[in-house]
């Protein structure tokens, strides 16, 4: 994926992905961070993805998994007794 294709992908899906992640995490700053990280991971690992779903679906999956991983990490750092 070249830079122009990535820019089009970003512009096409940025708002919807950020809204999706905001609905999950309920924190605007975290949703913004997750959105950017999801796009970076998508671009980095694009060659290894099997195209069984749309770009947006894959971005949502990546973003959700990033959020879940953060939650798991937070639980390990701050266990609830």
Query: pLDDT tens, position by position, for the chain (81 residues)?
Result: 789 999 999 999 999 999 999 999 999 999 999 999 999 999 998 888 777 889 999 999 999 999 999 988 877 666 665
How many C-beta atoms surround the C-beta of residue 81 within 10 A?
Answer: 2
Length of the chain measured in residues: 81
Q: Phi and psi (nearest 5°) for 2?
A: -85, 175
What are the chain's domains? 3-77 (1.10.1740)
Question: How far is the C-alpha of 78 from the C-alpha of 61, rounded, in Å?
Answer: 26
Question: How far is the C-alpha of 36 from the C-alpha of 75, rounded, in Å?
Answer: 23
* H or E segment to which residue 52 belongs: none
């Amino acid at each position: 994926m070249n830079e122009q294709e990535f820019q089009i992908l970003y512009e096409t899906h940025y708002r919807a992905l950020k809204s999706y992640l905001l609905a999950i995490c309920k924190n605007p700053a975290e949703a913004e961070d997750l959105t950017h990280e999801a796009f970076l991971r998508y671009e980095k690992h694009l060659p290894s993805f099997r195209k069984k779903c749309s770009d947006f679906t894959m971005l949502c999956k990546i973003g959700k998994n990033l959020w879940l991983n953060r939650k798991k990490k937070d639980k390990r750092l701050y266990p609830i007794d």
